[in-house]
């Protein structure tokens, strides 16, 4: 595993994407619906094309694809992408790293949800992600980034439940701050009839002016930030930015 990223290899839900969609039920496509609102507010219409970086199982993109004719989803986790392709075969999913991806085209909108950016730990790699966003942007492209609000980490979910015919599991999550590295350590213990399963992840925290600095360096102007009250996004900030066309 790349020490500058956290690929989720030790995460039960990433290894079993069908469980991910049970644990995170999507709350009626709340995140995708918020993106719909943001894009309409900032563009005055729904975009004709959208790139979703870190698309996971593709559930958010599936909703957005009902509004946007040209969508592409990219993820670096093969298990998640294989599940997305099987479950949502009409969507164009690509295997790729958001630090190095180059599709040789631009989009009217770009999104990255589900703390995909938090898996990028090193400053130089965050810079590379922003370069990827700029490389796929044209003047006026709207970018939406979901990040963890460092001031609201206490609102992150502490419990998760999976309840399907073949599996019943409850998880308790504990968090620990590593302030010097701006990392939030997430330790989750799943209790199942078959025994305990332990997950470990590290999430990069970005403060608002810090994120603005990375965006500005690659030609993006921050427009606004939105929040959702749903429990799984309670600590999220959805930051919207527009590309100037110069970065």
Pairing of strands 92-95, 70-75: parallel
d(CA 40, CA 38): 5
Are the C-beta atoms of residues 205 and 119 closer than 8 Å to each other?
Answer: no
Closest CA to 146 of 202, 206, 188, 199: 206
Q: Taking 60 as the threshold, does the pLDDT of residue 6 lie above it?
A: no
- pLDDT band per the 50, 70, 90 thresholds, residue 9: very low
What share of the chain has pLDDT > 90, as a percent? 72
Are the C-beta atoms of residues 161 and 245 closer than 8 Å to each other?
Answer: no
Pairing of strands 137-148, 159-164: unpaired
- pLDDT band per the 50, 70, 90 thresholds, residue 157: confident
Apex CA 13: angle with CA 11 and CA 17, to 5°? 135
Apex CA 119: angle with CA 222 and CA 38, to 5°? 30
147: left (phi over 0), alpha (psi -120 to 50) or beta: beta
Amino acid 5: pLDDT: 53
Q: Indicate the pTM of the whole model.
A: 0.92
Is the sign of the CA dihedral 97, 100, 111, 212 positive or negative? positive
d(CA 32, CA 29): 5
Pairing of strands 159-164, 167-178: antiparallel
Compare 6 and 98 and report the one with higher pLDDT. 98
Are the C-beta atoms of residues 148 and 183 closer than 8 Å to each other?
Answer: no
């Amino acid at each position: 595993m790349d020490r500058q990223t956290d690929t989720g290899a030790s995460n039960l839900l990433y290894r079993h994407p069908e469980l991910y969609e049970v644990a995170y039920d999507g709350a009626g496509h709340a995140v995708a619906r918020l993106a719909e609102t943001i894009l309409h507010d900032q563009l005055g219409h729904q975009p004709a094309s959208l790139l979703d970086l870190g698309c996971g199982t593709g559930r958010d993109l599936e909703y957005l694809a009902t509004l946007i004719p040209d969508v592409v989803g990219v993820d670096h986790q093969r298990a998640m992408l294989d599940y997305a392709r099987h479950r949502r075969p009409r969507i164009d999913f690509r295997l790729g790293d958001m630090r190095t991806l180059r599709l040789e085209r631009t989009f009217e909108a770009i999104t990255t949800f589900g703390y995909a950016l938090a898996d990028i730990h090193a400053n130089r790699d965050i810079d590379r992600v922003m370069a990827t966003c700029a490389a796929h942007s044209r003047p006026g492209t709207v970018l939406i980034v979901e990040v963890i609000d460092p001031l609201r980490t206490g609102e992150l979910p502490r419990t998760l439940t999976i309840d399907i015919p073949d599996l019943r599991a409850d998880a308790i999550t504990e968090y620990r701050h590593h302030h010097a590295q701006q990392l939030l350590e997430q330790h989750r213990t799943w209790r199942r009839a078959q025994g305990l399963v332990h997950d470990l992840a590290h999430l990069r925290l970005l403060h608002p002016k810090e994120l603005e600095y990375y965006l500005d360096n690659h030609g993006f102007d921050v427009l606004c930030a939105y929040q959702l009250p749903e429990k799984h996004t309670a600590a999220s900030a959805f930051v919207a930015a527009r590309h100037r066309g110069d970065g």
